[in-house]
Structure 1
Amino acid sequence: MEKRLVRHSSSTIVTSERFKQFYEHVFGNGPTYVTIYNTTSLPFTGSQSFLPTDGPVRIVYLGTFNYWHPMDEVARVTAQAARQLGPERVELFVYTLPKFHDMVRETFGAIDCARLTVDYVRYEDLPGALADKHIGVSVVRPTPSSRIASPIKVADYVASGLVPLMNEGIGDFDEHFRSNKSGILYGFGEDVDLGGLEEVSTVTNRQIYDVVSQAEALKRLTPVLERLRHD
């Protein structure tokens, strides 16, 4: 059924260029695909050009926990980051659903850091919650479906000027983060290396924001809706 629907559609919306390439390979019908990323509704609040050289470094994980977002991997990554940055400087923030709070406190409580905060933040309150953070963690278990995904939390981190700390191979932006030194990539299940962190600058991540913003999504969606009106 999926093949029939895609091959006979006038437009098929996908959430990444990788997704588009996959569908083109499997179904053909290339010109009909429209890439609309999972968007952020947060305003772009500017990019930090560097992390603080002294004072606290605030690391945040935003989102849920499940098979695709395993808590033990998020904790492992943040623990390694805290150890390399200096536990006495690192403040960890985990913003997730209340049902996970006890498990998060138990799991992350073993991490050597200056402070651990576990809370639930409504989406409309995210700008304030992320305003003083420095590094945003995104962990997605690599699977055939997740490799073509478009993680919303990465878009929110980019909008807020945070340095993304994420496992490679998920979505479209790895090459941007590498070539511009505007994010930290690691292999899922492998060690995190913050050795080049002093060179990281998120200034160029405005280019990513420009394609994951709601304004850009509406711009790309409008021609699709216009075609539907006239079909």
Structure 2
Amino acid sequence: MKVTLFVTCVVDMFETDVGKATVELLERLGCEIDFPKKQVCCGQPFHAAGYVESSKPMIKDMIETFEDSEVVVTPSGSCALMFKKYPEILGNEPHWAKRATTLAQKTYELTDFIVNVLKLENVGAKLNGVATYHTSCQMTRLLGVKDSPFKLLSNVEGLQLKPLPYRYNCCGFGGTFSTKMAEISEQMVDEKVNSVIETNADILVAAEGGCMMNIAGRMERRKVPIKVMHIAEVLNSH
């Protein structure tokens, strides 16, 4: 299957190893990877901040960029969700809304794609350690991808997976929320870090770059020696 990778801004600028792991993992699973160099921001930060009209030129650029793709896969639930929102955002422009719907229907978050399109739950990954998994808000509550990460992680050889207390609580990132409401965000991420520490895990696994940056950053400041890994990196371990 030919897969077009939507790598996201966060991965492109801050977490390039996640992009590499995603490509290597999908290639190992038999996919042919295409990477359109024209891809830019999906418009999520602008849209979430209320600048809906300002997000539309980026949205249209992304629709054109990925229009000829067979299937689009991204290592970010929130960015996949943004693609799913395109038809509604462009609802007053029928021509664009139709093209947006086509894109939305062929876009998948990475774990959802592996489990529900490739029909795989064991990707042959091996990683020794004790891990816990952080469920990101938009990926679980809005995109609806809840079980796929756990199915894949449960089949990683050598990995002991422990439940994260209050796992559905937000980590406090929330895009601009973490800057506009910094004091509240700090308390939320501290609560999340405390929950991770409670598990006695040595690895925190997440599937969202923003959450990873927020939690890892707080752990570093608090000198908490727990490694943070994107699920693509875990599944690519062998």
Calculate the TM-score normalised by the size of structure 1. 0.29
Bigger relative contact order, structure 1 or 2 (CA pairs below 8 A, ≥6 apart): 1
Give the number of the structure whose alpha-carbon radius of gyration is greater. Answer: 1
